[in-house]
Structure 1
């Protein structure tokens, strides 16, 4: 999706309805970029694909950020409403995570620039995490507002070590990892309680349950990078991620019946993160036919990203992307 496409379908007043969840787009592209870059090492996949996806990640993040800045200047009340919304505000976490993924993309070319981006991302991530937790402490939530999106402003702390360890910031990365794990195990039981006992998620939010796959998948890669290999903890985390991935795969027919909404982007980063985790584990533990399995996971995650991207582009061209929710 390009700035030209959006500019044809939007005037400044309509940007008041620009979806905050659009920040999940660079997050999804960055995650699959990491997956293809890892696949180049493990499976001999073309290196160009991963690098092209990272270039797309940078372009998307800049475009979406610029559009939201314009939105903030012309319709500050609408953006503030999203930031205070008990559900949509969860997508703020995608802003910092997108920056972290961009830092990972830049790392092979300029470690110094990657470090600047990474520190900016973790600064924003910690600020968002504190702001989000303060809101939870000060304003008791109804059960209906507990959705998997609550994990997004928190799991960025687990994403950060994936890049931070490669940059050499191991101490800070371990601290961030500890923060992320503590928040994950604190918040997830509350979310499971809502999922298991109700009220049921609205139909358009059903795809967001796949976000539950992100923390264990990302943590697998983070631990492997921090410890220099796939040890028992990384394997344990990957086992949990694999169980969730298989379960969500069996739910695909159900998800296909869900009308398009920005919540579909909730599928993209988790499946990309699981792909990276599977490729990371495969470097240390392989089995007969593992390459075929890994190619299937990689292409499946890539197909999901392509489907969601095309659906979003179609919504933009039809004028359905920039309208009141």
Structure 2
């Protein structure tokens, strides 16, 4: 009599339900797409290109953001603990910081069409980001000691309020934009300094090197906010700083991507788009700076959607959630 074979273990199928493991890493490429659309909006005024390009990008990105935001909110609404679980890991902190900043960028998109709604959305996004910064700080302090080091992601969390300056300028409050600009210089400077010191003492792991591109974003945003608030001299100084950071990143490009494509490549998207927007905004289509800004905008148009597509392609089937250790409801 032949012995019966043991039955195979039961398959663990994913739990049904909308958004149970939506990864926060989706929001960094969305942030890049918002930046790209705002760059083309600036190009319409500076170069006279059709505003339809920027409107199309911003409209499509707004829909994508609202859908992804709803998909993510479905997770903590089912199990609130998933929010703090996502904040325990670096991709989660980066992604959730980008999510609240996308809310601010959405307000900038709406400002020319619905100033009242954009103002309310800006205040809401600002409050959300304040709460998020408190939660991130608690997660870092309660986490392991090796996780309490300064990373480029700190810019998204602690300096991200500067995007409120873009909204303030768009809504006609340049004095608020100036206040945000000067108040964000200190945390940005501390993060830049701490990161430079770390680079001199130890080499970042290859998978985390794309995050270094985030250092470009604050300098580019400072340029745009200063230019919009009428501070021309500081705007040119910040643009020079942004250019120096970009040159360092371009020179180190092969070293930055040596680990191959990963969801952390989303960190390349917004800084590149913001740099292009900064030069286009500051130059207003005049001089050599406008040419460099135009080239950077074309480069961003090629790179940002490609990276966003590659990241979003990993979302179905749970690959992106697994790669970024996203919490599950």
TM-score range, shorter chain: 0.7 to 0.9
1:307 and 2:306 aligned: yes
Assess if the C-alpha contact under 8 Å between 1:42 and 1:283 holds in 2. Answer: yes
1:321 matched residue in structure 2: 320
Cα RMSD of the aligned pairs, angstroms, is: 2.7
Instruction: Describe the shift of the 1:131–1:176 C-alpha distance in structure 2 as closer, same or farther (beyond 3 A).
Output: farther
2:27 matched residue in structure 1: 23
Greater Rg, structure 1 or structure 2? 2
1:252 matched residue in structure 2: 253
> Which of 63-72 and 132-141 deviates more?
132-141
In structure 1, runs of 5+ residues without a counterpart are: 1-9
Q: CA deviation at 1:70?
A: 1.6
Instruction: Describe the shift of the 1:56–1:265 C-alpha distance in structure 2 as closer, same or farther (beyond 3 A).
Output: same
2:107 matched residue in structure 1: 103
Residues in 2 aligned to 1:12 and 1:197: alpha-carbon distance in whole angstroms: 47
> 1:73-118 CA distances to partner (integer Å, 9 max, x unpaired)?
3344443211233563233221221111111111111111111111
Residues in 2 aligned to 1:114 and 1:190: alpha-carbon distance in whole angstroms: 35
How many matched pairs?
A: 312
Residues in 2 aligned to 1:203 and 1:13: alpha-carbon distance in whole angstroms: 35
* TM-score, normalization by structure 2: 0.84
Instruction: Describe the shift of the 1:313–1:96 C-alpha distance in structure 2 as closer, same or farther (beyond 3 A).
Output: closer
1:202 and 2:210 aligned: no
2:225 matched residue in structure 1: 222
1:297 and 2:300 aligned: no
What is the aligned counterpart of 1:69 among 70, 73, 77? 73
Q: CA deviation at 1:189?
A: 1.7
Residues in 1 aligned to 2:68 and 2:318: alpha-carbon distance in whole angstroms: 17
Instruction: Describe the shift of the 1:189–1:16 C-alpha distance in structure 2 as closer, same or farther (beyond 3 A).
Output: farther
2:85 matched residue in structure 1: 81
Residues in 2 aligned to 1:137 and 1:310: alpha-carbon distance in whole angstroms: 35
1:163 and 2:167 aligned: yes
Assess if the C-alpha contact under 8 Å between 2:28 and 2:94 holds in 1. Answer: no
Assess if the C-alpha contact under 8 Å between 1:158 and 1:219 holds in 2. Answer: yes
Q: CA deviation at 1:313?
A: 3.4
Q: CA deviation at 1:154?
A: 1.6
* TM-score, normalization by structure 1: 0.85
Assess if the C-alpha contact under 8 Å between 1:143 and 1:194 holds in 2. Answer: no
Residues in 1 aligned to 2:15 and 2:153: alpha-carbon distance in whole angstroms: 29
Instruction: Describe the shift of the 1:31–1:20 C-alpha distance in structure 2 as closer, same or farther (beyond 3 A).
Output: same
RCO greater where, 1 or 2, for CA within 8 Å and sep 6 or more? 2
2:197 matched residue in structure 1: 193
Instruction: Describe the shift of the 1:207–1:12 C-alpha distance in structure 2 as closer, same or farther (beyond 3 A).
Output: farther
> 1:256-285 CA distances to partner (integer Å, 9 max, x unpaired)?
443322211100100111011111221285
Q: CA deviation at 1:42?
A: 1.2
1:269 matched residue in structure 2: 270
Assess if the C-alpha contact under 8 Å between 1:211 and 1:266 holds in 2. Answer: yes
Instruction: Describe the shift of the 1:318–1:139 C-alpha distance in structure 2 as closer, same or farther (beyond 3 A).
Output: closer
Q: CA deviation at 1:43?
A: 1.8
What is the aligned counterpart of 1:40 among 40, 44, 52? 44
Residues in 2 aligned to 1:276 and 1:224: alpha-carbon distance in whole angstroms: 11
